[in-house]
């Protein structure tokens, strides 16, 4: 699990659709589906479940287990970011200042 897969899960949860989540993230449906399969294979229980379309329509949802996995990941990510915030500020002093952008006519 990483930030990209976590974002994909969030987008799927919001939209109820792998294809909508993929579009929102600017990736192909195929790539999003591959990531969903990889996520499901990585955990002891299914994180994402899909329903085939038809009369009542299809859809995708994040399982309760998946919601817990996502929440725990986001919590760990927030803790890690907070623990290095001061170091990151001092480290950024080594970076070049961004150049001012000029508009071409």
Spell out the CATH class of 3-88. Answer: mainly alpha
First to last CA, the chain: 44
| pLDDT number for residue 93 | 86
The pLDDT tens digits for 22-70 are: 999 999 999 999 999 999 999 999 999 988 765 566 689 999 999 999 9
Average pLDDT value for residue range 76-95: 91
Q: The tokens of 49 are what?
A: 């479940």
User: Is residue 3 classed as helix, strand or coil in its secondary structure?
Assistant: helix
Tokens 């990941």, located at residue:
73
Helices (H) and strands (E) in the chain, counts: 5, 2
Share the mean pLDDT of the chain: 90
Reported as type and span, the H/E element at residue 5 is helix 3-15
Quick check: 73 pLDDT over 90? yes
Instruction: Give the residue extent of every domain in the chain.
Output: 3-88
Which residues 6+ apart lie within 8 Å of 30 measured at CB?
none
């Amino acid at each position: 699990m990483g930030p990209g897969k976590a974002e994909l899960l969030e987008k799927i949860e919001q939209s109820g659709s792998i294809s909508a989540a993929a579009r929102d993230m600017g990736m192909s449906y195929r790539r999003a589906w591959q990531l969903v399969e990889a996520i499901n294979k990585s955990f002891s229980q299914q994180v994402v479940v899909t329903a085939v379309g038809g009369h009542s329509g299809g859809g995708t949802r994040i399982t309760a287990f998946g919601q817990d996995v996502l929440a725990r990941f986001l919590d760990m990510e927030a803790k890690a970011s907070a623990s290095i915030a001061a170091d990151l500020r001092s480290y950024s002093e080594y970076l070049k200042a961004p150049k001012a952008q000029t508009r071409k006519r």
